[in-house]
Amino acid sequence: MCGIFGKYSFDKDHIAKTVYYGLFALQHRGQESAGIAVSNGSEIKCHKEMGLVNVVFNSEEKIRKLDGSIGIGHVRYSTTGSSTLSNAQPIVVDTKFGPIALAHNGNLINTEELRIGLQGFKFNGTTDSEVIAALISFSNKDTLEEALIESLEKVQGAYALLVMSKDKLIAVKDPQGIRPLCIGKLEGGYIFSSESCGLDIVGASFVRELEGGEMAVVDRNGLQSKTIARSKKCSFCIFEFIYFARPDSVLNGRSVYGARVAMGKLLAKQQPAPTADFISGVPDSGIPAAVGFSSESKIDFGDSLIKNRYVGRTFIQPSQDIRDMGVKVKLNPLKQYIQDSKLVIIDDSIVRGTTSRQIVKIIKECGAREVHFRVSSPPIISPCYYGIDTPTKSELIAANLSIEGIRKYLDADSLGYLSLEGLVKAVNLPQQSMCMACLNNHYPVEIPEKLGKLNLIF
């Protein structure tokens, strides 16, 4: 679940600062590495490091060196390929079309077999994204667009891509449209961003979202678009609405915040709380649902946990020990309000269960009499192979325990989930247009039978 951002300027603009701010808005999508590549018409320059955007680009000089009028940026959350500098993006490679830079959000499911067929390409890392770059460099097609189309015909899985040459910027989505990518217009140029919040921060107007299988190309002649692949149906990732996207973003025409509030209201109807003193959401992604739950149940909303705003998202940290420590550093309880209270805690999801268990423990240690846990999504029962790091059932608590078993593991007084039907109603998009494989085990792209955890080691 990486974040990608790009801009093409018809003026001789200093593009890197715009991309920098765009990545800031998408920081929630990946916190392991950040990078920006720019073209000045004759060469491509790139700077990338491990860390947050403001750590990687911690001086004006680093931005100033990236002069050009076309630029793409990337913030990384690793799935295929370990969390190392060699796997940071954008990826820059030489091709018969000149140097290109590539930024990828998503995950491919046939990476290993493709890589075996790319003998002779000097891989720097172990990502599926670099495989796409290698396929382009091996192509014998006459144009970059044709080479990209040929390459994507060979890959399977989820991708939202930005590909930049010295004189053009290309955006493309997989035929199912699993990952988000939108188009914006800024005076003198065009913007591509994983989410609409990336447009807002740079003052761009929202044009539309790319369709599944669509390729959009911006060059000196303007923006041109065409469908390069068709699927029987769109399969947009439902987990974007549940957790990943920023609440101020709009996806598929639906406000993420509005969808999460609606999830909370329906959760209150389906899983009403016992007599409680107040409703509290787990910051930040559980707050909108808690507001909805409070509104529907007529029980007061109140804070029980204060978030340290300088700590990242614990779910997308790469290892469990970091996640465990992250909960303690990230959330601090309001002891004076929790003591002797009966409260309902709302969270957006339970994936592994370790974070939720620690939250219940923290609250009970503050003297709460009862802790009732409510989840504004259905149980996550299946792995995701399209970009979320839950690749094996052994890591998913709901795939291994009953609701009562999960309640006991959390040590909560009660536990309730939103139904699948309730989630679809809250999102207010056709069920057949969304990928809900993690919730119902129905995969829009067929998964190889023996596909395990997608960490390539060569």
Q: Comparing C-alpha atoms, which of 209, 171, 218 is closest to residue 8?
A: 218
The residue annotated as part of the active site, out of 2, 46, 182, 197, is 2
Does the pTM surpass 0.85? The reply is yes
The full set of domains in the chain, from first to last, is 3-232 (3.60.20.10), 247-431 (3.40.50.2020)
- Using DSSP bridges, classify how beta strands 305-307 and 331-333 pair: parallel, antiparallel or unpaired: antiparallel
Whether 366 has a binding-site annotation, put simply, is no
Q: Which residues contact 413 (CB under 8 A, 6 or more apart)?
A: 274, 370, 371, 372
Whether 435 has a binding-site annotation, put simply, is yes
Whether residue 374 contacts residue 267, with contact meaning beta carbons closer than 8 Å, is answered with yes
Whether 285 has a binding-site annotation, put simply, is yes
Token pair recorded at residue 203: 């003052």
Whether residue 304 contacts residue 363, with contact meaning beta carbons closer than 8 Å, is answered with yes
Whether 237 has a binding-site annotation, put simply, is yes
| CA atoms in the 13 A half-sphere facing the CB of 359 | 29
- Using DSSP bridges, classify how beta strands 98-108 and 157-164 pair: parallel, antiparallel or unpaired: antiparallel
Token pair recorded at residue 329: 């550093």
| Known catalytic residue at 197 | no
Beta carbons within 10 angstroms of residue 233's beta carbon: 14
Give me the sign of the Cα torsion angle 259, 264, 266, 271. Answer: positive
Whether residue 176 contacts residue 444, with contact meaning beta carbons closer than 8 Å, is answered with yes
Token pair recorded at residue 223: 């923006």
The per-residue pLDDT for 452 is 45
Q: Comparing C-alpha atoms, which of 440, 305, 311 is closest to residue 381?
A: 440
Whether residue 366 contacts residue 333, with contact meaning beta carbons closer than 8 Å, is answered with yes
Q: Which residues pair with 223 in a beta bridge?
A: 218
Whether residue 179 contacts residue 29, with contact meaning beta carbons closer than 8 Å, is answered with no
Specify the DSSP element, H or E, that contains 437.
helix 437-440
The per-residue pLDDT for 456 is 34
Q: Which residues pair with 206 in a beta bridge?
A: 184
Each residue's pLDDT tens digit in the chain (458 positions)?
799 999 999 987 789 999 999 999 999 999 999 999 999 999 999 999 999 999 999 999 999 999 999 999 999 987 665 678 888 999 999 999 999 999 999 999 998 899 888 887 888 888 889 999 999 999 999 999 999 999 999 999 999 999 999 999 999 999 999 999 999 999 889 999 999 999 999 999 999 999 999 999 999 999 999 999 988 788 999 999 999 999 999 999 999 999 999 999 999 999 998 789 999 999 988 999 999 999 999 999 999 998 886 665 554 555 555 555 557 678 899 999 999 999 999 999 999 999 999 999 999 999 999 999 999 999 999 998 888 776 588 889 999 999 999 999 999 999 999 999 999 999 999 999 999 999 999 999 888 765 644 433 22
